[in-house]
Chain A
Amino acid sequence: MNCQEVRRYWDLFYDSEGDAELHFQVNEHLENCVDCAEWFDKQSRLESLIEERLGNDTSAQKVTPVDWTKVLINAGVTPVSKSRPWLFFSSGILALAASLLVLIGLYGLLIGIDSSPSLSHLSAEVHQHVAAGSLRPEFESQSDIEVDEYLLRRVSFPVRCPPRKDSGFAVNGAGLCELSDQPAAYVVGTVDRRPVSIFVLPKESLDAFPLQRAKLRGEQLTACREGDTEMVFSIVDKNIVLVAGNVERAKLTRVLKSYGTYPHAL
Chain B
Amino acid sequence: MSLGHELPEGHSLTQSNSLRAERFIAHLEPIQHQLAVFCSRALNRSDETADVLQSAIANAFRDFDKYSEGTNFRAWVFRYVTLESLNHNRAARRAPSELDEQQMDQTEILNIQTFRLETLLDDPEAVLDHCDGVVARSLGQLTEQERRILLLRAVGDFKYREIAEILDIPMGTVMGLLSRARTQLRGKLLEYARQNGLNSKGESA
Q: Do A and B come from one complex?
A: yes
Q: Taking the complex as formed, is A73 at the interface, i.e. its CB lies under 8 A from any CB of chain B? A: yes
Q: Taking the complex as formed, is B128 at the interface, i.e. its CB lies under 8 A from any CB of chain A? A: yes
Q: How far is the CB of B185 from chain A (nearest CB, A)?
A: 7
Contact A134 B68 (CB under 8 A): yes
Contact A81 B182 (CB under 8 A): no
Q: How far is the CB of A194 from chain B (nearest CB, A)?
A: 20
Q: CA of A178 to CA of B76 in the docked complex: distance in angstroms? A: 12
Q: CA of A43 to CA of B118 in the docked complex: distance in angstroms? A: 12
User: How many chain A residues touch B (Cβ–Cβ < 8 Å)?
Assistant: 59
- Interface residue ranges of B24-55 to A (CB < 8 Å): 24-25, 28-30, 32-33, 36-37, 39-41, 46-47, 49-50, 53-55
Q: Taking the complex as formed, is A206 at the interface, i.e. its CB lies under 8 A from any CB of chain B? A: no
Q: CA of A176 to CA of B70 in the docked complex: distance in angstroms? A: 10
Report which of B24, B28, B55, B120 forms a contact with A75, defined as CB distance below 8 A: B55
Q: CA of A82 to CA of B11 in the docked complex: distance in angstroms? A: 5
Complex contacts, B46 vs chain A, CB 8 Å: 57, 59-60
Q: Taking the complex as formed, is A15 at the interface, i.e. its CB lies under 8 A from any CB of chain B? A: yes
Complex contacts, A90 vs chain B, CB 8 Å: 12, 15
Known interface pairs A71-B57, A71-B58, A72-B58. Does A178 touch B40 (Cβ–Cβ under 8 Å)? no
Q: Taking the complex as formed, is A165 at the interface, i.e. its CB lies under 8 A from any CB of chain B? A: no
0/1 per residue, B85-129, Cβ < 8 Å to A? 000000000000000101000000000000000001110110010
Report which of B70, B71, B182 forms a contact with A47, defined as CB distance below 8 A: B182
Contact A54 B41 (CB under 8 A): yes
Contact A126 B122 (CB under 8 A): no
Complex contacts, B161 vs chain A, CB 8 Å: 138, 154
Complex contacts, B186 vs chain A, CB 8 Å: 46, 50
Q: Taking the complex as formed, is A112 at the interface, i.e. its CB lies under 8 A from any CB of chain B? A: no
Report which of B47, B70, B120, B122 forms a contact with A179, defined as CB distance below 8 A: B70
Report which of B74, B124, B175 forms a contact with A46, defined as CB distance below 8 A: B124
Contact B72 A63 (CB under 8 A): no
Contact A79 B17 (CB under 8 A): yes
Contact A81 B11 (CB under 8 A): yes
Q: Which residue of B lies closest to A87 (CB)?
A: B12
Complex contacts, A96 vs chain B, CB 8 Å: none
Q: Which residue of A lies closest to B154 (CB)?
A: A51
Q: How far is the CB of A140 from chain B (nearest CB, A)?
A: 15
Report which of A50, A59, A67, A86 forms a contact with B6, defined as CB distance below 8 A: A67
Interface centre among A51, A59, A64 (most CB of B within 10 A): A59
Contact A60 B72 (CB under 8 A): no
Q: Taking the complex as formed, is A12 at the interface, i.e. its CB lies under 8 A from any CB of chain B? A: yes
Q: CA of A79 to CA of B6 in the docked complex: distance in angstroms? A: 17
Q: CA of A178 to CA of B77 in the docked complex: distance in angstroms? A: 14
Report which of A17, A47, A66, A81 forms a contact with B32, defined as CB distance below 8 A: A66
Q: Which residue of A lies closest to B153 (CB)?
A: A15
Q: Which residue of A lies closest to B53 (CB)?
A: A63
Q: How far is the CB of A181 from chain B (nearest CB, A)?
A: 7
Q: Taking the complex as formed, is B83 at the interface, i.e. its CB lies under 8 A from any CB of chain A? A: no
Report which of A60, A65, A87, A178 forms a contact with B49, defined as CB distance below 8 A: A60
Contact B17 A60 (CB under 8 A): no
Q: CA of A53 to CA of B106 in the docked complex: distance in angstroms? A: 13
Q: Taking the complex as formed, is A4 at the interface, i.e. its CB lies under 8 A from any CB of chain B? A: no
Known interface pairs A46-B120, A54-B135, A59-B100. Does A72 touch B40 (Cβ–Cβ under 8 Å)? no
Q: Taking the complex as formed, is B73 at the interface, i.e. its CB lies under 8 A from any CB of chain A? A: yes
Q: CA of A126 to CA of B67 in the docked complex: distance in angstroms? A: 12
Kindly list 11 other residue pairs between chains A and B, CB separation below 8 angstroms, not including A59-B102, A60-B36, A123-B70. A17-B175, A42-B121, A50-B124, A57-B36, A60-B46, A68-B25, A69-B7, A72-B24, A77-B58, A178-B70, A178-B72
A-B CB contact pairs (8 Å), 11 listed: A46-B124, A55-B154, A59-B47, A60-B33, A62-B50, A64-B33, A75-B55, A78-B13, A126-B69, A177-B70, A178-B73
Q: Which residues of B contact A (CB under 8 A)?
A: 1, 3-8, 10-15, 17, 21, 24-25, 28-30, 32-33, 36-37, 39-41, 46-47, 49-50, 53-55, 57-58, 61-62, 68-74, 100, 102, 120-122, 124-125, 128, 132, 135, 139, 151, 153-155, 159-161, 175, 178-179, 182, 185-186, 189
A-B interface, 9 closest residue pairs, ranked by CB to CB distance from nearest: A75-B58, A126-B70, A60-B36, A63-B36, A51-B154, A59-B46, A60-B37, A60-B40, A42-B121
